[in-house]
Amino acid sequence: MPKVYVPKKRPYDEKDMETALKLIDNGTLSLRNAAKHFKIDKSALSRRRTRSLGKQGRKTSLTKEMEVDLSDKIKIMAKWGFALTKPEIQAIVQTYVQENHLTTQFKEGKPGKDWFKHFCKRNRLSQKKLEQLERCRRTATNDPFIIFGFYDRLNTCISDLKLQDKPRHIWNLDETSFSSDPARIKGVAGIGQKVHRNIELSGEENTTVIACISASGTLLPPLIIFQGQNLWSSWKGKTDLPNTCYAASDKGRMTCQIFQEWFQKFCAQVRERPLLVILDGHVTHLDKSTIEMAVQENITLLKLPAHTTDLLQPLARCCFGPFKFKWNEALINWQRLNQRKPSRSEFSDLICSIWNEGLSAEMIKSSFEKVGIFPCDKNRYPEDRLDPAKLLRYKAHGVIENPLDIFEDCDEETPLPQTEQFIESVPDQSNSASSKPSSSFESLLLEKIRRTPNIIARRRKIDSMAKVLATKGNTGERTK
């Protein structure tokens, strides 16, 4: 059977179908005569009249209830960072079929790629590239006590400073790195043909850039941090933006001294007072001299909760992604015309040429609104990232005035896939040996999750020099 099967149907006009149904209902024509007169299949006319439109095609190997049960548990596993791969799902279904003695068309009970494709299509599933998510970040972003606590503190700061209608007084700053290798752009070539860029590069090089935006859509010129012991005048761009700042550090990253000097320029450039600056808790942002300067300048520094910047920071969540896409496009165009790596001066000109276009005022305003900073709205936070059990405890303590109605019945929710709390599946009796399966998708999926203790073994220093420790017939030497 072809991959895209188009069933053959007897052609008929929809108007003829409606006319035939009206004549049958009025008693003018019988079902047989109407089908013969309008050249419509009798069975199709009968099904349309009785509204018994059955599903086309043969029955699926697993019942609808089984597939819904499996898809729900797959989504729960993915939500909590345990997403299954295609071979794992096929193996789980094979074990389920074999242990419950189901009659299927699978070879040795294992479904093939066609079944997996249509199973995903029927249950709105798709394969995605797995992203690394630290456990501490996952824990922080699903805790309503941490998330809503930040919004409460933000609302208090805005009220105390009377900034409800002053978006220009609310700022966000963050740094990111820009690579000299535009790996995110895809090229077009013939099928089976390899694609590469004929550009002389001495490896990938990253440059740190700090951006600062306000809720009114204002964007300050960038701070570019190069790697080096000294800052040279030749690194300055020839066509850079006015008031662009430059710095150099040993590793090309932010330092306390660089941030303090830049913050002093920020205080001189932005004259509105009071100011509310939202930033992450990086150690370079929390220097004592910087905090004292902020107090003297009537600037309030609000630190974001740890490991939550990807969801609570406007720059990280909404701005840097589209801007880096434009950066990759501009870098490819530049490298195609020059066939070399841009110098540091050319890097500065290139980043400044797309600075205002890549970070537009509309994007900046929408980023503050999307994360719920201005206007302050805790309901902007994505509901699916919150832990249901912690959210219920948060509501029980009465710390939220208008709680998010995420779950109407807490008894039916499955907060974590670490204990046996999945909804029991009920397979169709016509496709199983007994009414209650001997093995469920719940038990099979829970076997995929296990956490073993991290045992730190005692170690002993062998030798600081390179030496063969063990070969055939020789166990090596060890220092006492």
Q: What is the pLDDT of residue 141?
A: 72
CA distance 133 to 373: 24
Q: What is the mean pLDDT of residues 296-308?
A: 88
Q: Is the pLDDT of residue 423 over 50?
A: no
Q: What is the pLDDT of residue 350?
A: 93
Q: Is the pLDDT of residue 156 over 70?
A: yes
Average pLDDT of every residue of the chain = 79
Q: What is the mean pLDDT of residues 438-450?
A: 71
- Could you tell me the domains of the chain? 1-57 (no CATH), 62-132+399-467 (no CATH), 144-182+204-383 (3.30.420.10)
Q: Is the pLDDT of residue 23 over 80?
A: yes
How many CB atoms sit inside 10 A of residue 390's CB? Answer: 17
CA distance 121 to 127: 11
| φ/ψ (deg, to 5) at 17 | -65, -45
Residue 424: pLDDT band with limits 50, 70, 90 = very low
CB 422 within 8 A of CB 414: yes
Strand order through the sheet with 223-227: 245-249, 223-227, 206-214, 170-179, 275-279, 299-303
Exposed/middle/buried for residue 403 (C-beta within 10 Å: 0-12, 13-18, 19+)? middle
Q: What is the pLDDT of residue 430?
A: 42
Q: Is the pLDDT of residue 270 over 90?
A: yes
Q: What is the pLDDT of residue 24?
A: 87
| Degrees, nearest 5: CA angle 419-425-428 | 165
| Sign, CA torsion 266/268/271/275 | positive
Q: What is the pLDDT of residue 386?
A: 80
- The pLDDT tens digits of the residues spanning 219-259 come to 999 999 999 989 898 999 888 899 999 999 988 899 999 99
pLDDT > 70 in the chain, percent: 75
At 97, the amino acid letter reads V
Pick the more confident residue, 439 or 211. Answer: 211
Residue 146: pLDDT band with limits 50, 70, 90 = confident
